[in-house]
Structure 1
Amino acid sequence: MGKNPQKGMVQLGGIANPDRKFLGLKWKVLLLSSLILIAIVVSFTAITYRSLMHDFENQRDVQHQRYAREVEGLIDQISQNLHQLAQLIPFLEGMNTALLANNGANIAQTFDPYWAPLQLNKDIEMIRFYDSANRLLANWGHSESYAEENVMLGWVGKANAREQPISPLSCEKSCTQFAVTPLLVEGNNVGVVVIGIPLVDVVLGFKDISGSHIGLLLKEQGNRASSSDMRIANWNFQVAAHSREMNVAILNKAAELYRDFDSLEPGVQVFWNNQYFQVKPLRLEKIGALDKAKLIVVSDITSTIRTIQGSTQQSVMIGLVGLILSEILLFVILTKPLSRLKHIVFTLPLLARSSFQDFRTALYSDNQKQLLKDEIDMLDETAVALSYQLEKLEEQVADRTRILARKMDELSKERDFITHLLDIAQVIVITQNANGEILTLNAHGETLIQYAEKELKGKPFISLFALDGNLHDLSTHLEEIRGERRDQLRHEANILGKDTSVRNILWLHSRLTRHTADDPAILSVGLDMTEHKRAEGRLAWLADHDPLTDLFNRRRFQEELEQMLNLAARYKHSGALLFFDLDQFKYINDTSGHQAGDALLKMVARMLLSSIRNVDILGRLGGDEFAVILPQTTAEGAIEVAKNALACLSQGKISVNGRTHKALASIGIALFPEHGNNVHDLLAAADLAMYQAKEAGRGGWHLFSNEEKTRERMHTLVYWKEKIEYALLHDQFLFHFQPIMHIRDKTIDHYEVLLRMIDDDGTVLAPHLFIPAAEQTGLIHAIDHMVLRKSIAHSAQIQHRGQRVRFSINLSAHAFHDPELLSILNEAFSHYDADPSNFMFEITETAALEDLPAAKELMQTIKKLGCSFTLDDFGVGFSSFYYIRQLPIDVVKIDGSFIRNLADSPDDQILVKALCDVARGFGKKTTAEFVETAATLSVLENMQIDYAQGFLIGIPASADESPFRDYLKV
């Protein structure tokens, strides 16, 4: 087997494929190392060649710059010689007289003998004389070969003006160097002489100083004739002058390779007549880009190129020799070790067949003792040790397979448990494949969307959604999860059930790890948020509406009124405000109960809506007060609407327990902007007008007038101010206590302290009659102080008799701006030795609205004494949620408008449940007021509301009628 390993491999069937072509590791190493060495040789040669060429190009660039300086120097030398010649002209015999005379004929006659020698000896091609006024006096030479006349006159004018020579170079028609020199005779400027000489000498002399050839190329003109051997057709140039040794054929060869003359700028190589030449334009500052002439330098670089080529060939030969020697050496080194390794490789398949003994025998038969161990010897030993280990592991695998079979049964039971858990989970659980098609749906999902799993299997998951959202974005995000570019997606969307019902679902999509193509790709879990969204919508609606009548509440009505006042002021419109107050409404509540009062309020709301225009705005301001905004109307129009409303209300009546109640109202009318241009003043005017209507006789209307505004208000304030001061002085204030029950224990937990005032005739007055006047006159602080002192005194008296009663006291909005409040509390607690933990203070949003930081600081200070706080009217506006989080509240009192009809109103039940959950989430206890029926109390108990207050629990009673009356007696 050691002698024929391939035959052994064939005998191992299934372990190796004998039909595949085999290439030994030795040849693979040789092939790979050859490729690497070749790449190294080629790279090194290329780098060497590029470096040599780069150095050569840099050297040529430096040399080309030197050429430019040398040509510039030759041109400057010619220009200097011309100026020297021009300065000698006035000293020629007779020229000074002719120039002073400023006579062109004399100048021509005198200078004519000198023209021919200058042409022959100095190569002068043109001379012109101009006077100081720039007029041509005499000239020699052909003007059409030189610059334009206007250009030359410009030079002359500049030289005359400055009296300084200039040296222009013109290549418009041929390259000529000019010297424009002022002529001075006896210290006077008599004109200008212009001398022109061609640049042919520069071209012919360039070879002598540089060793390279230079040519002067001129742009072909339509009227210029040129010989074919001097013409460069591809560039549209003709060779005007060149070095004697330069062959024009080189330029023609360059023009064939590079048709665009600008491509010669970096310098190009041309191979011609078995030689290498570099062709490169020579840029001079004196020859502009718009000139028709070009200078081009041709350099013989044959020797340098051949030197670089020779160095490159030598590098290649050295690299190839090194490559061959390295391959031979590597072949000799690898042959024997790789042969031994090959034997081990072809023996290893025996391990796959579990032929451990045969494997060890095969290795030992070919094992040759080495003087020193190497890696292959260690591989032999390791392979043998591995065979023993594998043999042992195979025995362990057999034992563990039996154990695994038992555990598979256990996993099957766990899988059944998970399946059952998914079915009973109160969420939708859906799995999708890689194409977004539904694979599974749990039992709760089937119940919720009315589809069976088999009906949805294979359908796109996206088809479940109602067409009211951005399904394109959702589809894109799900595709990102399936494409493993995203792990999770959370969103809300509406799904359409089989019964066409729409449910709002909060989805969480997660990417699953897949082992096969059939495994689920996405797990989608959906939580039904339909009822929660409905409650949120109800809360949003209640922020602007009265829950009983569905009309705008006071806050929203005031916003509408303010907006209407702004529009009226902008567009100069007038309008009216109607203020309704139902007559004898308290009598209806007292005799027939709050349910009768609520029914009457609903009827009044419907009748008022039917009696006003579509553009009019109706709202319930609270209790039995309604108001209507009449935009763009007059006093007559407002009175007509009031009459119609009263006539409509007179037709309405309700019957409760054998009693019939009619809907009667008194209406106050105020016009805007006549009676007020802001919400407060207008409402006050309408309110005063309403009271005038009541005084005149119920069931009528009254139009406010400015004359009675101040008189009525002052009369009202003075009247109540005197009453309040008299009551404070003679202790005419009375406390009533209403019990508040702990619902779970069915025990009275504490009492709310309600303030009443005794009138002169013994009538007990409710707070809403005198508290507004107290706030306007500043007496509210005295009332707050009196309530706190008397309440603390009562609590201490009960406490000292061995009992404990907790009081809940209402704080006015002005209490938070009372600098004496905290000191009075400390003084009263200390004086009466009362326990502060027996006191709860009720505040409303209005109390904290003006200065929230100050209110928060004061409340925290009072809580440090041991007192607690209750937030009243919770839920009326969304701001309640803000205050419950910002203020140190212990208890929230849910507004009674949500409690009255709780047993019969599913909407109110959803809302109260949501309010309770919010309060409980913030760690607050809850109190429900206006609890009047046992059914309402039962619903509150099921909702786990903490406290209940209302007529069912107990009506407000005076101290003499309270359960703790015996403890208050002296």
Structure 2
Amino acid sequence: MTARRDFAEVVPQRNSTRDFLEALDAVSQLITDAGEDALARTLMVIGQAARAGAAALYRHQAGGLSAQHVAGWRGDVSLPADVAAKLARLDYRIYRDLHDTLSAGLMLERHVSELLPATQVMLGPIGLQHLLCVPLLDGGELVGFIALAYLDAPRRREAGEPRFLATLANYLALALVRHEAESRLRVNAQRLSTLVGATEDMVFELDGGGMVINVWSSHPALPSASLVGLPLDRAFPQDMAWALRQAMPRALASDGREQFEFTLPRLEGAIYCIGRLQAVPSENGNGRHLVALVRDVTELMREEARRRSMVETLDLLEEAVIELSADGRLSRVSAAWSQLRGGDESDPQSLGQPLSEFVHPDDHATLVRAYGEVLRSGEPVTVRFRLVRAVGEPVWLEAKLLPNWGADGLAQGLRGVLRDVTAAHLSEAHIRQLALYDGLTGLPNRVLLDDLLNQALARARRHGSRVALGFIDLDHFKQINDAFGHQAGDQVLATLARQIRSVLREEDVLARWGGDEFIVMLPDLPDLATLSNVAERLREIARQGVVLEGIETRPTISIGMAVYPDNADNAESLLRAADSTMYHAKAMGRNNVQFYGDIVHLKSIGREHMAIQTRLNHAVLGNELQVFYQPIVNARTGEVSSVEALARWHDDVAGWITPQLFIPMAEKLGLISELSEQITVQALTKLKGWRERGLKQQLALNVSRNLLFSPRFVKNLIATVEEYGLRPADVMIEVTESLALTDHARQSRHLRQLHEAGFRIAIDDFGTGYSSLSQLHDMPVDVLKVDLSFTARLNQEAGRRIMQAIVQMAHSLGMEVVVEGVETLDAARFLQGLGVEKMQGFHFSEPVPAGVCELHMQLGLDGKI
């Protein structure tokens, strides 16, 4: 009622009291009802009390540059739509006369003609004559104004009327400000309730005694009825209320948050909750209240239980599960990690360390590539590496790595499952070793060689370089196997492999082709001169001694070399060219190196090699081989003292085939025994005819190791000689040095039986085998045939000294000397001077048919001495 008394004091006497009281009632009602209708009614009462034609309320906008129309009463004023749109918002920068006066807290009352032009333009279309604007102030600040418009000139105002309007405006400003504050509070409360409700958390307020003051959000498991005004013991379940009671004193006594927990039993399963209490000032400022936030963590607890169960299950497995940061550091490991590392318990020292710290240094690059691939592609990658253990040898692990995705969709680290695959890896390595490497020598086999050769040829094509391929065959290897057994033969092969490997470059490849054959590949060959040097080193290193059962053997090798792209344009052709060249090396007397580029005729053999082997097989089975004879001459008289029977083969397709080619071929095909028997029969038949014609020369027969090893060889040979009416003294048996002396006990027995039967025994190719003086002294040997390789060096002083030493040694042992390969008169006369008894070679006669040889036997060759 105070407001009414104050208002009455300023009511003009000529206005009715009722009009002013209605205006006051309207403003008072506006305090509790700020709706649009209430504002319009209030403006109508104020306009009528002020005898205005229309009234409008404008609210000052934030920033102070404009005013927004809030409500209005048009009264007698007709307001066109376009004008109403302009009046909805007033820009103070245009209507400066309004802003300058009102912001100073003064009323603006003027005739329209007295206003600024912009204001006149705005109000002119309405037909207004007079304008009265009353400011609405809050703490001296302009918050809006009431505009009263007059169509006619207003009456003259009483002295108290401006004060009346100012007082009325103050009450209106107060009501508007209060309602706006309450509106903001309601909006904020609604926002808070919405935000809290969106979290599915229960948020409520308690006073110090435990009474529920506010509830902003509830929980489905809690009572749905209104809890405001209830004590917590009635508002909440017993377990929840008890937990709150326990936490409240601690929360009220401190400024921090107090946490509490409780469980709500339910038929479908317990609900687990965690709550926090925070002390806040009460609204009236008397005492402190508590705000509680309760969160349902049932799913989190269940998820944690599932995770713990999963971790426990993983700990039972042998596979280790790890998590890595983006830089490869261990952030989490399962129990199996420590077992892989060689421990039995957890390994906390590993956390924070790079995984690479526990990986074998040789596998670091592999692991880094796997990291990059996973982070780049986002796809799982499987990698294998060695894990260094705390104690013991490293273990092989197979790791499946996949990315850990972050909230931004980018990989923030890696996860991995590690499995011990040591046994499988070693098994695979063993299988790979068996599949790709030779079990005896450890060298690459044919399969791996084929892959390595194709890789080398591909690089050579790109870089324009050469690749050399050498086919290596161990000479007379079967004699070693036969003499000492296969275990000794394996020892020779393994030793030879090590010797050859020792003179090769790191990038060169030595492979075992099979049996006693090896292949050496020289990639990126700088020049052909290097190839010659390497080939000679291979030949020389192979002659290093190997001791077998106390006997030193010095094996030799035959090598055939071919070069890509000079001699072949692909791997198969290169292998074939090297193989053909190796056969030529054996045909040239073994223990030498031949190059495909130097042997023109081999370039046309190629695939015909197999055809020749087939035709040789038919020739032996069909008894088509012939016997030629080469005289052995008395060094003093020039008479032919004996003739050596030599096998010759004329092929219907290729013509005469050199024995240096078909004899090794027959050995490889297993035809050498049949071939030897045929030569023996033909030679003995011819010798019988010569004896019938009075020729006394001795026949020299070469005996193969197969025949000599045969248990019945001696008896069969004696019977055959007698069958042709001949005596053992008519025949000289020639065996190679390596054959005669490799198996001393066995061969000595056979040779002694032959010697006792009357056959003369000759050691052929002396100087190329494995003999020692003690063995030679014990053997029943009559003749020593010096190999032609020594005769070829008689033009050198060293060669002449070696020949002299051999002759002297043979004579001291009581042996007759036959020197092979005599091709010049000078050589023959030098050998005469040394006391050599007999000579053989092209200087006297090459191997000739029986008829020609018979003439030499009858006439002699004294003209050659």
- Common fold by TM > 0.5: no
Q: TM-score, normalised by structure 1?
A: 0.30
More strand by share: 2
Q: TM-score, normalised by structure 2?
A: 0.33
More helix by share: 1
Structure with max Cα Rg: 2
